[in-house]
Amino acid sequence: MEPRIQYAKTSDGVNIAFWTLGKGEPLVFMLPLSHVRLEWQIPEWRNWAELLAAKRQLIRYDGRGSGMSDRNVTDFSLDAHVMDLDAVVNRLRLDNFALLGQLNWGPAAIAYAARNPQRISSLILWCSNFRPLHSRQSPRGDAILSLMEKDWDLYTEITAHETIGWAEGAPAHRWAAVMRASMAQEAWRSAFQASWDFDVSRLLREVKSPTLVLQRRDSPLFPVDTARILVTEIPDARLVILEGSSLAMYLQDAEVVAAIIDDFLSVVEPPTEQVTTLPSGTAAAPVGVILFADIVDSTALTERLGDAAFRDKARDLDTALRAVIREHAGTAIEGKLLGDGVLAVFTSARQAIEAALACGRSGDDAASPYTSASTPATSSARTTTSTAAQSTSPRASAAYRRRGRCWSRRRCARWRARRQAFSSMTAASRS
């Protein structure tokens, strides 16, 4: 059944059309230039919306100047887009919700999350930008944009194919028709030109909510490097790189993308990151490499330093290690069974090894001996290799002189239990 269209009014008097679908924790899907009624007529889009709404309440709205919202507007600034979103969530009386932003309008989602940390439970960014776009300076970009003035129909067809994929014939034609129906030509030009100058670089570190950055590896408009910067700058962010170039979430691997989002938003099973990262490899044979980093002989260190000092040092080291893991394209796993260690998943053995070495250096810098071990998710426990980082601390080096110090039986048992549990989870994700 087609969702019922409702309206919310912004603080500057613009009526915003929206609908809700499903029940549960709310997820607001932010794509301002759209048409919420015509989108529902596209089979692939409808299936996508139903996938997202299967476990939660999905909320979609038309931004100002587009779709079924008020068209007679001229303000398409970043703050205006934030006002549209604020009007919808206030109309629904949402105190806490997950937010999904994408493409040129990802900056509006970032700005809202940074300014309203108490309301955003999770932030999802799909092929998002965060600083002024430079694609219009390329010959290809200039050629496409020049069509906006000369031939509106041809421009929408080319833009739809460029965005969705040139192999997607019928879906691209359908989306081009939605584009033409969503906004008038002049309004589309004004809105897009405004979005090119959005810059939220200074707000990235103000985002406090857990953040999932989804990125197409071969996107012609939004490069992987942009996604990596987002993950580096946003404190609690993780990156999932998906194969392909299509910027449409509802085509190609829609079920995989929906599953990744479900896992990220789930609060039932804390260790969800291992599921999100594995599909970023080839669909036929995903490769997962596990990295586990742990403080050597933490019991002795606790006795020597004292509980409070050890907790402070372990907390600082945990933050540093997670930053190292993100920088090497890994995903840290959350969970109560990790103790003072950090468990992470990589899709590249090289990246896992580089991260292990960097974790060791972080242990040196923190004057805490740290052990890191990496192993392919499909291998047996006997193939596990480990290296221990030798501390440069004079006090610590006396007790830990030898690199490659063996774990105690108790620690080995803990590692085997953790690895067995994780192997079960990765096997379930592939089945």
Q: How does pLDDT run along the chain (431 residues), one tens digit per residue?
A: 789 999 999 999 999 999 999 999 999 999 867 899 998 988 888 999 999 999 999 999 999 999 999 999 999 999 999 999 999 999 999 999 999 999 888 999 999 999 999 999 999 999 888 888 654 445 665 666 677 777 888 888 887 777 776 556 787 888 888 888 888 888 888 888 888 889 999 999 999 999 999 998 887 778 888 899 999 999 999 999 988 878 788 877 888 899 899 989 985 333 333 434 444 443 444 456 788 777 776 667 777 777 777 777 777 787 888 888 888 888 887 654 445 678 888 877 778 888 888 887 766 655 554 445 544 443 322 223 333 333 333 333 333 233 333 334 444 454 455 555 545 544 544 44
Residue 354 corresponds to which tokens in the numbers above? 């580089």
Beta bridge partner(s), residue 57: 26
Residue 367: what pLDDT? 53
Residue 76: what pLDDT? 93
Residue 232: what pLDDT? 93
Tell me which CATH code domain 289-430 carries. 3.30.70
Cβ count near 322 (within 10 Å): 18
- Cα 31 to chain center, whole Å? 16
CA 350, CA 136: separation in Å to the nearest integer?
Answer: 36
Q: What is the pTM of this model?
A: 0.61
CA 162, CA 168: separation in Å to the nearest integer?
Answer: 10
Looking from the CA of 30 toward its CB, the CA atoms found within 13 Å total: 33
CA 398, CA 400: separation in Å to the nearest integer?
Answer: 6
- Cα 293 to chain center, whole Å? 24
CA 183, CA 189: separation in Å to the nearest integer?
Answer: 9
Residue 389: what pLDDT? 31
Position 3: which residue type?
P
Residue whose token pair is 């301002």: 32
Residue 169: what pLDDT? 72
Instruction: Give one DSSP letter per residue of 109-152, joined into a string.
Output: HHHHHHH-TTTEEEEEEES---S---GGGSHHHHHHHHHHHH-H
**Could you tell me which residues come within 8 angstroms of residue 404 by beta carbon, excluding any fewer than 6 positions away?**
386, 387, 388
Residue 11: what pLDDT? 95
For the chain, give every residue range classified as CATH 3.40.50.1820. 6-268
Position 273: which residue type?
E
CA 321, CA 213: separation in Å to the nearest integer?
Answer: 19
For the chain, give every residue range classified as CATH 3.30.70. 289-430
Helix axes 307-327, 298-305, angle to 10 degrees: 130
The CA–CA distances, whole Å, from 166 to 33, 172, 250, 288 equal 21, 8, 15, 31
Write the class of the CATH domain 6-268. Answer: alpha beta
